[in-house]
């Protein structure tokens, strides 16, 4: 209940802010080409931390770069609200929320499917046309009304499919930029987006992490040195695990500070020196753990279509 109230409060605050900006004659946020795939992965990574073991998300789809013309901040809010709805609807019923990315004609289609109780057929046609009472709409009414309006401003649309007892799928369709399909084939991006990075000078430990990641159906990249990691230009939101004792290099704490200076904020120490837990660490170091691979109770898995 508290989660639902926080969500409704956040949406109402957003609507009030938007109304005030429009009343003052403020300009509508500029639309610009954005990597929708990265925005989705970044939001999912944030939800893994927010919901802890209550959330498992599977992402299936082509991990190539899809560009849609949106307000990136607005898109993140819309997707975050829809993902929150899915988490709350599935609580105590199904642990798996499946987020699917694919192209449909000239659109980028993002499906969010939960295993919750579903929505009755008499309510489905009303979504997006009026703000429904969240008590009678599985908590979706206010948030989806706002999402419908926002996505419509980008020439996109939202579809909802649901059946009582089987769950709900919310689909976001965003027109792809005209240059997307031609640019994607020429851009030198990785064929998969890593969900985890490890900086570790021990070859054996790196191999173990790679094997554990494969078993957990996770995409991982490992590096022997911090300089190799920086050269790879990994996305800033990817969780980075750093060995404290990197041989001839600086300590993990120093490396973490350097990475934070260039924009990385989801940093972790993977070290046998657990005495570090007694020190007050900077807030950009999210956790300290041993050399073992992180527990895969929260993960985002990627696959190629």
Same fold, 2-183 and 196-293: no
Q: How would you write the chain as a 3-class SS string? A: CHHHHHHHHHHHHHHHHHHHHHHCCCCCCCCEEEEHHHHHHHHHHHHHHHHHHHCEEEEEECCCCCEEEECHHHHHHHHHHHHHHHHHHHCCCCCEEEEEEEEECCEEEEEEEECCCCCCCCCHHHCCCCCCCHHHCCCCHHHHHHHHHHHHHCCCEEEEEEECCCEEEEEEEEEECCCHHHHHCCCCCCCCCCCEEEECCCHHHHHHHHHHHHHCCCCEEEECCHHHHHHHCCCCCCCEEECCCCCCCCCHHHHHHHHHHCCCCCEEEECCCHHHHHCCCCCCEEEEECCCCCCCCCCEECCCC
297 has pLDDT over 60 = no
Task: Give residue 298's pLDDT.
Answer: 41
62 has pLDDT over 60 = no
140 has pLDDT over 90 = no
Mean pLDDT rounded to a whole number for the chain: 74
Q: How confident is the model at residue 53 (pLDDT cuts 50, 70, 90)?
A: very low
**pLDDT tens-digit series, residues 225-281:** 898 898 888 888 888 999 988 876 678 889 999 999 998 988 998 887 656 556 677
% of the chain beyond a pLDDT of 70: 67
Rounded CA-CA distance 131/220 in Å is 42
Quick one: tokens of 109? 């289609």
Q: How confident is the model at residue 296 (pLDDT cuts 50, 70, 90)?
A: low
**pLDDT tens-digit series, residues 12-44:** 455 555 545 555 555 567 788 888 877 887 787
Q: How confident is the model at residue 46 (pLDDT cuts 50, 70, 90)?
A: confident
Q: Which residue has the higher pLDDT, 124 or 166?
A: 166
Task: Give domain limits for the chain.
Answer: 2-183, 196-293
Of 239, 298, 226, nearest to 265 by C-alpha is 239
Query: Are the CB atoms for 186 and 162 separated by under 8 Å?
Result: no
Task: Give residue 139's pLDDT.
Answer: 45
Task: Give residue 233's pLDDT.
Answer: 84
Task: Give residue 231's pLDDT.
Answer: 85
Architecture in CATH for domain 196-293:
3-Layer(aba) Sandwich (3.40)
Task: Give residue 115's pLDDT.
Answer: 84
Q: How confident is the model at residue 52 (pLDDT cuts 50, 70, 90)?
A: low
Greatest mean pLDDT among 3-7, 136-140, 265-269 lies in: 265-269
Rounded CA-CA distance 122/119 in Å is 8
Task: Give residue 191's pLDDT.
Answer: 37
Task: Give residue 146's pLDDT.
Answer: 79
Architecture in CATH for domain 2-183:
2-Layer Sandwich (3.30)
Task: Give residue 301's pLDDT.
Answer: 40
């Amino acid at each position: 209940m508290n989660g639902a109230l926080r969500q409704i409060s956040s949406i109402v605050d957003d609507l009030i802010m938007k109304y005030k900006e429009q009343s003052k004659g403020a300009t509508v946020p500029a639309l610009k080409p954005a990597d929708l795939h990265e925005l989705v992965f970044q939001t999912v990574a944030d939800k893994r931390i927010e919901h802890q073991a209550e959330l498992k998300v599977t992402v299936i789809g082509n991990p190539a770069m899809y560009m849609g013309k949106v307000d990136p901040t607005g898109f993140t809010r819309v997707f975050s609200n829809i993902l929150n709805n899915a988490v709350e609807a599935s609580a105590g019923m199904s642990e798996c929320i499946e987020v699917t990315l694919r192209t449909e004609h000239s659109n980028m289609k993002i499906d969010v499917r939960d295993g919750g109780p579903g929505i009755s057929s008499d309510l489905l046609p009303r979504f997006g046309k009026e703000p429904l009472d969240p008590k009678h709409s599985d908590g979706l009414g206010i948030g989806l009304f706002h999402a419908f309006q926002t996505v419509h401003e980008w020439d996109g649309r939202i579809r909802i499919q649901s059946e009582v007892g089987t769950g709900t799928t919310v689909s976001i369709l965003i027109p792809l930029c005209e240059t997307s399909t031609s640019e994607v084939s020429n851009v030198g991006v990785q064929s998969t987006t890593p969900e985890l990075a490890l900086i570790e000078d021990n070859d054996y430990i790196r191999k173990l992490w790679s094997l554990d990641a494969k078993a957990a159906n996770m995409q991982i990249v490992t590096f022997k040195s911090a300089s190799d990691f920086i050269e790879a230009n990994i996305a800033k939101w990817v969780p980075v695990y750093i060995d404290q004792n990197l041989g001839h290099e600086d300590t993990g704490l120093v490396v973490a500070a350097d990475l934070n200076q260039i924009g990385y904020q989801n940093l972790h120490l993977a070290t046998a020196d657990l005495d570090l837990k007694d020190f007050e660490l900077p807030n950009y170091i999210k956790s300290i753990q041993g050399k073992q691979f992180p527990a895969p109770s929260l993960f985002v898995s990627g696959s190629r279509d």
